[in-house]
Structure 1
Amino acid sequence: MPDDLLSHLIGPSPYSSAWLWTAVMLALGVIVWYAVVFALTSRRRLRDIPVLGAARDELIRRRAVRAVRTIGSRYRAGELAPARAGAAMSGELRSFLHAATGMDAEYMQVDAMTVGTLAPAAPILFELTDVQFNHRSAVDVGALSAATEELIREWT
């Protein structure tokens, strides 16, 4: 019997293990895709989902602290005037409060914040407003930066 006919009697060669891993990765990708779509389109807010909410809150907190620290450093280096530093810190604090509580802190008057959920932030916002609009203000912007960072870090 010739050798060339012997290849037709033996079964096919086994498939590569790369195909198995490709199928597993594609299946995991589809599962993750559906989980993300479900989480983003569910009626529950993202902060109400236990693990995702805690991770989201921590990321928001770290970003806000980093931004306020950068503003404070730029003020101490002399790059920002007190009014501009106060305005920037006020904007960051209000943005953080909006993201953390869902309330429209960016558009609220400071007097309206003294009652309710945003009450702990009202004294700092009063001082930031004073620094921003009163050129004769005696408030130390460096200390105010540290107080703002501490408020953001301890916000629950």
Structure 2
Amino acid sequence: MPDDLLRFVGGPSPYWTGWLWLGLALLLMVIVWYAVVLVWTLPADRLRRLPAVRVLHARLLRRRFASAVRSIVARHRDGDLSTAQAGAAMSRTLRSFLHQATGARTQYMHLDAIGAGALAPAAPVLAALDDAQFNQASPVRVGEVGADTEELIRTWP
């Protein structure tokens, strides 16, 4: 009976079965690639709603923005940025992080509005950054406020 079956289906295949597995693996890689590109290009508000991606997205945001703050502090330490420039850059970075992490339009919010809402833990750091940016005689040290900003970003809920 097996010989009859082989004759019916045309005999043993002249192709190596590894080609089938290689083709399936390549097809799977293409599907995964498209899924990664789709997720990677989604807006932040949609990523915050996807349960499987939410944790990874938050971790990547924290890492990216904390690294940006470290870079600003290093540039200030090297003399590339003044205290006012470093304060402005860190404030912009923190506000962008808060927007990406929460969806609140913090780039356009006043400090009082930030302190009165769910973003209240960020208000003292933003106040210190504003003081460093706008007050020439400010006692704020960029290294210290940079560490506070980085800690806030890393521990944001």
Q: Which residue of 2 aligns with 1:126?
A: 127
Query: Counterparts in 2 of 1:1-156, with a 5 A limit?
Result: 14-29=14-29, 31-32=31-32, 35=35, 45-156=46-157
Gaps of at least 5 residues in structure 2 are 1-10
* CA shift digits 1:41-75 (9 cap, x unpaired): 8xx82222222111011000000010001111111
Distance in 2 between the 1:72 and 1:146 partners? 9
Distance in 1 between the 2:110 and 2:87 partners? 16
Q: Which residue of 2 aligns with 1:7?
A: none
Aligned length: 145
Distance in 2 between the 1:155 and 1:12 partners? 62
Distance in 2 between the 1:118 and 1:13 partners? 66
19-28 or 31-40, larger mean C-alpha shift: 31-40
126-135 or 29-38, larger mean C-alpha shift: 29-38
Query: Which structure has the greater CA radius of gyration?
Result: 1
Distance in 1 between the 2:135 and 2:46 partners? 40
* CA shift digits 1:76-99 (9 cap, x unpaired): 222210000000000110110000
Write out the 4+ residue segments of structure 1 that deviate beyond 4 Å after TM superposition.
33-41
Distance in 2 between the 1:95 and 1:69 partners? 15
Q: How far did residue 27 of structure 1 move?
A: 3.7
More helix by share: 2
Q: How far did residue 28 of structure 1 move?
A: 1.7
Distance in 1 between the 2:13 and 2:59 partners? 52
Gaps of at least 5 residues in structure 1 are 1-10
